[in-house]
Amino acid sequence: MKQTPGQGRWIKGLSAIVASVLLSQTMSSVAQTKEEKVTYSQFLNYIKNDQIKTAVIYDKQGRAEFKLKNQPDKAPFSEVLLFEKDTSLYKKLREKNINFEQNHDSGENLFLEILPQLFLILMILVFFVMFLRRAASSSSGPGQILNFGKSKARFQMESETGVTFADVAGIEEAKEELQEVVTFLKQPERFTAVGARIPRGVLLIGPPGTGKTLLAKAISGEAGVPFFSISGSEFVEMFVGVGASRVRDLFKKAKDNAPCLVFIDEIDAVGRQRGTGIGGGNDEREQTLNQLLTEMDGFEGNTGIIVIAATNRPDILDTALLRPGRFDRQVTVDLPAFKGRLGILEVHSRDKKLAPKVSLEAIARRTPGFSGASLANLLNEAAILTARRHKDAITTLEIDDAIDRITIGLSMAPHLDSKKKWLIAYHEIGHALLETLLKDADPLNKVTILPRSGGIGGFSQPIYNEERVDSGLYTRAWMLDQITILLGGRAAELEVFGEAEVTIGASSDLKNVASLAREMVTRLGMSDLGYVALETEEKSNVFLGGDWGSRAEYSEDMAVQIDRKIREIVTHCYSKAQVLLRENRRLLDKLVEVLLEKETLEGDEFRQIVVHYGQSVEKKPILPEPLPLLP
């Protein structure tokens, strides 16, 4: 911290005080060394034998100084410590007619006595003044101390984000919709000429990592207007009224620099629903939200100010915040499709050295459901692995390992050759073989028995259908095959090792089976109970502004039927898995032998073994009759 001239004078003054204290203590210690100290009993003997010539008693200090009759006048006084409130001492001195003086003062300089206490108080005051000056200089300028109510928004007179729409890929629909906001700011006359009104606010909604903040920076970079950016959590402090004061100060600065952009990241931190009935309705967050609502569309207009907010929890935002006139537009920034992922990979691979055989298209096809942040992290992890392995460029191997590390976990040391390794191999081959044989299942990408962090002993990984993932449309046949595949690990263990040797390795599979089967029956109408949604998704937590909880929307008799239908689906799929594995037992054993040898099998290699040693993938074995949808 830079030292001011005033602070320099304070330090010099304090140095002088410290020096004087040390000097006084030194002189006092020197003086004390010249005085001869005697014991109290010896002092009483001197009085009894009438040997004392003169004495001075200091009451407050509890000591006395005296000279003996046989000592010369220039001899130093002797010193003795007295007992507290010893009244008999004065009586003994008077009886012996000893000349003594009673001194009620301390006998020392009073200033020197209180100097240490004054020095401590002075130091505290100096540090407090320095803290106040530093707080003032770090807020809105010199001379203003503890500006709690001032806005903490980062302000740029001209956009210096360094990000434009060219740097944002994978969200073309959102970019196109926000392009109008840029045009509003650059050429407002084009819209005002036909009576169009500039939108007050734009709410960016999407999962984490999809690029909402990056998109706001790009709008600022394209528009080139003054830009304010702040997080929702920075409005609320421990002091009541500070958040509302910061909102007022933020919009006051924005009005002075209109037209401009105000970006509020994570607005759900301050914009949650009001009046939940818990904790009262006059808390600091609600006051801040009320002020924000007033500033966006209250009695006074904010012409030329466009507020851009980002959140991944639109369900908990207050309805007054979402009405027209405040956030006029709600732009969904969703997970990118194949072309979007390819564009994002092209952007983030500009500064990465890729091997010629690395195909960004192949990476994009293997990563459905990845967000922009996940894809950036994928390439970064691949680059880290490349540097660790002392390679010159990122290869396909590093890409594959990076995908596995992000989706499944860090690779651990291989299993030792034991019964556990055989159990895991049969379990994972049970999944993988059913993924290959079932018609409506996603194709196998790889199967491995290399353990991963988090307690995963091995895994079987499919290549998810991009169109199905992006659209969210899953067929009944696909869902039944998914349940069959999930039960394949347990079915393989039971077929090979018997009931007594069945392990808990299928616990997570069974949880997914129960969840998927229950959704088919209660929410998706995929059973003979009819096309009725008997359950809804879990409602919002009351603390987030939602209802008090969910309730059963069916009778007890219907609950029994639901349980029966779920059991029918699971039993049917398990029987199907058992038949497939039993019919292909020779193939199952061969695949386990190869997997134990190589520890990892890619999808193409796995399918070649299936075709060579077993039946064709297209050939259908004898299976149980499919479940009827309706009677």
Angle made by CA atoms 557, 561, 562, in degrees to the nearest 5: 115
Q: Which residues contact 445 (CB under 8 A, 6 or more apart)?
A: 366, 461, 462, 463, 602, 603
- What does the alpha-carbon distance between residue 209 and residue 190 come to, in Å, rounded to a whole number? 34
The identity of residue 609, as a single letter, is: I
Question: Active site residue: 65, 428, 435, 493, which one?
Answer: 428
Q: Write the CB contacts of 112 (distance below 8 Å, at least 6 apart in sequence).
A: 21, 24
Beta carbons of 326 and 200 less than 8 angstroms apart = yes
DSSP 132: H
Q: Name residue 238's amino acid.
A: M
Burial of 247 (0-12, 13-18, 19+ CB in 10 A): buried
The 8-class DSSP code of residue 415 comes to P
If residue 67 lies in a helix (H) or strand (E), which one and from where to where? strand 63-68
Residue pair 578/491 in contact (Cβ under 8 Å)? The answer is yes
Phi and psi based region of residue 154 (left: phi greater than 0; alpha: psi -120 to 50; beta: remaining) = beta
What is the distance between the alpha carbons of residues 94 and 20, in angstroms, rounded to a whole number? 41
Tokens standing for 522? 């209660």
* Cα 298 to Cα 58: distance, rounded to the nearest angstrom: 77
Cβ–Cβ under 8 Å, residues 462 and 441: yes
CA 580 to each of CA 425, 495, 573, 575: distance values in angstroms, whole numbers, following the listed order: 17, 11, 11, 9
How many C-beta atoms lie closer than 10 Å to residue 133's C-beta?
17
Q: Determine the residue type at 221.
A: G
Residue 311 phi, psi dihedral angles, 5° rounding: -160, 155
Active site residue 428: yes
Assess contact for 488 and 472: CB atoms under 8 A.
no
How many CA atoms are closer than 13 Å to the CA of 72, on its beta-carbon side?
Answer: 2
Q: Which residues are catalytic?
A: 428
